[in-house]
Structure 1
């Protein structure tokens, strides 16, 4: 692994104001706050789906979770080094950039590279917003049904989308770190309570647990879910671009993945051991009802509401730039973002089950952005010729990058195929055809 000193940014007196070294912000994010942002972006939907995914992998899923977390952390660090090299070599990218990941694609492979990254990010974030809407609606429906009222899930999708719509009209917050902290705290507490609820169910119910045999489709569907759970790469360069010391980004990512793995793995293992094949795609629909479940549903739903706004905003902003919609609040923005929420709602009503969508995103665009493009861009930047010092890449790093890309491509294609096959074979009837539960 190359050392940070190989791509450190030199001090530049030509960049003043809030900037010290290239890309440095005196009032930017610290290592800790960057880690919190990364955890807040990743944690949430993944923890609800991982126990079910273990049915597709068996106990080898424990190893897959650990490997995915470690490899994701490593490729996140490579992506951070890519952005450091881009800022160091190209003066026009030393100021704050709204789209650092697409910029890396532009520098390495020109317009096709930028379009590939930009389209992948937007498809990923749009898909995540659909998943968040489905999960939030499912949780709200469950909470209300426990109170004695029952409405169709398809109607709840419309109600929740309507509630999210006015918030989606707002611009991106200038300083929203408290939201990220709240999201991390809420999800951390929820994970602890879910684990306690699973253990309670195990003590209360001494029954035989059936675990299904492994097969190709289920295994790679599960792999796509696991990739989704650890794939926060679309936003990583954006966090790094806002750091006080961007060269310390690797430390923040390492801490973030340790936290996420510590939150995810106990719930995934306990859910698989206790429920086996009885585990549903949303673990909250499997654990026994009671105060613990209700608290978790409230916490996760709040996280999903905040997360929906965070993930849909970048997509809206980029499309608004293409359509030349002014950045300040205006009627055109209200109309456009209302249409965007409507499109998300239409997809959710068309495929009212989040599991296959989550697996499809995880196996396709998330795998591309997390496991294929970071090592590819890194090697390309290291071997680019120009008026800068060459970066020496040790043999073991080259081998690691090639292996990650090869495994990511193979597993990604298999996961995407499995998810598409599952959607084609077992898709739920769209809500606008049947409004039943």
Structure 2
């Protein structure tokens, strides 16, 4: 897959938020090295993303005490980020997350890492379509439509329309052009938080909801959504290799995780005190549409995912094309493969149009795997600490067991809710 991309394009792209895993498989360019400040910005852009919309739901699901778990998840994922750094320090040839998997467990390790990344990319891209459908339905309530004798709900209609808008951009495949749009991820996140805060403070919504101390049944969902917020680990090897002074990588991670955690916690508390237990899967769906600040937040939410969708599906498309015989690689083949991939995400989005539950499933099943379990397992294998009774080993084993418990319970709860709402 890597050979088919232009290195300069990746150099411009690789630090945008939710497409992080989309370009984590590309080797870093060597023509320049990032400063500490630039790397912090890139790392923050990787960690901050659409999870900002669902953290109020996470807090509402688990109650006020679950906010403590947000900080625990942040601390654990920060630590596993350091484990990735330690793995890379063991071998200077490591360039991607998949390389770490192969160094630890051979071809099977690379395969597991690759599958987990592509699956997460596919489902998050699907989540973008659902997000667009939800917010457009909220902005333009057109009711059900009759198309060729079929009755189509407004949400389904908008999902299809957004996919049709995205499809030509996917065919264009100009990643350098899209990078200028998607690089605004950090600023978009800040605009959303500030706009919603303005809506509450100055536009009459207020902070009147007290909430509930704890919902024990909702803890798995809350932790799954919190984990989804910090799922940038497949990008960390690329960030690490881009630095001029790699010894500062730990400090970069610390700065990025502190700022991102403050942002997520602030949005969670703002949304929960504004709307309480009635907060939607995306807090923008609760905003009053007659306020300018609300519309700024919603429009910002709508614009960002379009370029990110393309960037996340591009590596999947290229991987699929690599599976074809050499003689089948042509522009027509590219168009067909891209169209099939877009159609498949549309089908999943139409079949499972539940943004919060889908992101919870991604967090529990895939983000826990990529951001918690795999870094711990790879580090233990590479460092050979699994047979040594040390505090570090005990800590990692505790994280592993906790991650498995979170993954299993969160996946069960998410699937159960999806099946319940589909029936």
Structure 1 length-normalised TM = 0.80
The answer (yes or no) to whether the contact 1:316–1:337 under 8 Å persists in 2 is: yes
1:416-435 aligned at under 5 Å gives the runs: 416-427=411-422
Gaps of 5+ in 2: 1-26, 146-151
Partner residue in 2 for 1:198: 200
**What are the Cα deviations for residues 20-69 of structure 1, in whole angstroms up to 9, with x where unaligned?**
xx989351333333333333333232111111111221111221111111
Partner residue in 2 for 1:399: 394
1:173-192 aligned at under 5 Å gives the runs: 173=175, 178-192=180-194
Partner residue in 2 for 1:37: 42
Q: CA deviation at 1:288?
A: 2.2
The answer (yes or no) to whether the contact 2:127–2:358 under 8 Å persists in 1 is: yes
Deviates more, 1:222-231 or 1:252-261: 252-261
Deviates more, 1:394-403 or 1:368-377: 394-403
Distance 1:132 1:326, change over 3 A: farther
**What are the Cα deviations for residues 95-147 of structure 1, in whole angstroms up to 9, with x where unaligned?**
xx4xx11111111111221111111111111111011111123223333459x
Distance 1:237 1:352, change over 3 A: same
Partner residue in 2 for 1:62: 67
The answer (yes or no) to whether the contact 1:55–1:212 under 8 Å persists in 2 is: no
Partner residue in 2 for 1:109: 105
Partner residue in 2 for 1:389: none
Does structure 1 residue 74 correspond to structure 2 residue 79? yes
1:317-336 aligned at under 5 Å gives the runs: 317-323=318-324, 330-336=331-337
CA RMSD of aligned residues (A): 3.0
Distance 1:292 1:83, change over 3 A: same
Partner residue in 2 for 1:140: 136
**What are the Cα deviations for residues 186-219 of structure 1, in whole angstroms up to 9, with x where unaligned?**
2112111112223346x55686656496142x22
SS at match of 2:90: helix
1:274-313 aligned at under 5 Å gives the runs: 274-289=274-289, 290-313=291-314
Residues in 2 aligned to 1:85 and 1:174: alpha-carbon distance in whole angstroms? 33
Residues in 2 aligned to 1:327 and 1:403: alpha-carbon distance in whole angstroms? 49
Deviates more, 1:203-212 or 1:302-311: 203-212
Partner residue in 2 for 1:167: 169
Deviates more, 1:276-285 or 1:327-336: 327-336
Q: CA deviation at 1:329?
A: 7.5
**What are the Cα deviations for residues 379-427 of structure 1, in whole angstroms up to 9, with x where unaligned?**
211129xxxxxxxx99332222222111111111111111111111223
Distance 1:143 1:151, change over 3 A: farther
Residues in 2 aligned to 1:172 and 1:417: alpha-carbon distance in whole angstroms? 39
Does structure 1 residue 84 correspond to structure 2 residue 85? no
The answer (yes or no) to whether the contact 1:198–1:287 under 8 Å persists in 2 is: no
Residues in 2 aligned to 1:394 and 1:86: alpha-carbon distance in whole angstroms? 24
Total equivalences in the alignment: 387
Distance 1:79 1:329, change over 3 A: farther
Q: CA deviation at 1:178?
A: 4.2
Partner residue in 2 for 1:434: none
Partner residue in 2 for 1:48: 53
Partner residue in 1 for 2:343: 342
Partner residue in 1 for 2:10: none
SS at match of 1:86: coil
SS at match of 2:32: coil
Equivalent residue for 1:121, pick from 117, 120, 129: 117
Residues in 1 aligned to 2:356 and 2:394: alpha-carbon distance in whole angstroms? 34
Higher helix share: 2
Distance 1:299 1:115, change over 3 A: same
The answer (yes or no) to whether the contact 1:194–1:293 under 8 Å persists in 2 is: yes
Structure 2 length-normalised TM = 0.83
**What are the Cα deviations for residues 215-264 of structure 1, in whole angstroms up to 9, with x where unaligned?**
42x22112111111111112222333343344433232222212211221
Partner residue in 2 for 1:367: 368
Residues in 1 aligned to 2:50 and 2:378: alpha-carbon distance in whole angstroms? 29
Residues in 2 aligned to 1:337 and 1:206: alpha-carbon distance in whole angstroms? 45
Does structure 1 residue 356 correspond to structure 2 residue 357? yes
Partner residue in 1 for 2:5: none
